[in-house]
Amino acid sequence: MAEIILVLAILAGIEIYREVHCFKRTDYAIVSEKLNIPEGKEKKIVFLSDLHNQQYGQNNENLVKAIRESDPDFIWIGGDMLIGKEDTDYTPALSFVKEITGICPVYCASGNHEQRMKENPEDYQYSYVEYKEVLEAYGVHFLENETVRFAEYNITLRGLEIPLACYRRFRKGTLTVEEIIERIGQPDETTYEVLLAHNPTYMETYQKWGADLVLSGHLHGGVVRIPGILGVISPAFELFPKYSGDLYRDGDKISVVSKGLGTHTFHIRLWNPAEFIVLHLKTCN
């Protein structure tokens, strides 16, 4: 029995190492009558989340190549490209995002790591303001409780920042529809509302606000996944989080939760490959 346990532990360790150093592409079709996309055509969106300074090849060349080959019309980033720790440099994230600006327009929302660096700059050696200024000079559009409209496709894209208290461990903070309205306004029911909201814990609230499509990350796929079922644990140490990583449908509402591209603190993935997501937006005929 001891020998079997040892072999299983070795195999698990090998698989963890492989998954921490590899990524995959995940494709989802998003169809809605609200979208204004010509029949037989689609708009491709690459959705990225939770890179956390991870590098796939020198200067992330493998990841950049895979994104370029997916031929996206837009890249939407759901946050946590960097690691928000006191002495951790954000150069890998900065270099990566700069590189992908040469592919197509890039829109970026904040995760909790960027947000806490912005709100508590005295706690960090590196400046989020400088990080943002450099990327804006390369054309990145930051959506920090801000909105952009793609009238040609009848899409409204909003980047939501929620209170940092909503990221606490062990004690879940509250978030109301009214608080969302205070930050990003009322939804426009005539357009297809896409909400970049990093933390999927509040998915039902985002949908009550009026989001047609929510794009989240944060939970890293639940770290370890029960294959075909769900993730095991969230960064807030919540067991079996409901929205750990997948496409979820609730009537005509859709939620896409990325399993993320990187790790931090605990460098573990098991049955939970890192991923970038390609959304294929089409009009329902």
Give which of 122, 108, 134, 130 is closest to 51, Cα–Cα.
Answer: 108
d(CA 61, CA 39): 35
Per-residue pLDDT, 191: 98
Per-residue pLDDT, 101: 98
Query: Dihedral sign, CA of 193, 216, 185, 43?
Result: negative
Per-residue pLDDT, 7: 66
Q: 80 is written with which tokens?
A: 């946590």
Cβ within 8 Å of residue 241, ≥6 positions away:
200, 201, 219, 222, 230, 231, 233, 234
Give which of 186, 179, 178 is closest to 163, Cα–Cα.
Answer: 179
d(CA 157, CA 191): 10
Give which of 103, 101, 110 is closest to 128, Cα–Cα.
Answer: 110
Q: What's the domain count of the chain?
A: 1
CATH label of the domain that carries residue 42: 3.60.21.10
- Burial code (b: 16+ CB inside 10 Å, e: under 16) for 241-276 equals bebbbbeeeeeebbbbbbbbbbbbeeeebbbbbbbb
Strand partners, 257: 216, 246
Per-residue pLDDT, 13: 85
| DSSP-based three-state secondary structure for 269 | coil
Per-residue pLDDT, 10: 78
Per-residue pLDDT, 272: 94
Q: Is residue 60 left, alpha or beta, with left meaning phi > 0 and alpha meaning psi from -120 to 50?
A: left
pLDDT < 70: residue spans in the chain: 7
Query: Dihedral sign, CA of 91, 94, 97, 101?
Result: negative
Strand partners, 194: 157, 213
Give CA 250 to chain center in angstroms: 20
Per-residue pLDDT, 237: 81
Residue 145: domain span: 2-283
DSSP-assigned states of every residue in 100-150 = HTTTS-EEE---HHHHHHHH-GGG-SS-HHHHHHHHHHTT-EE-SSEEEEE
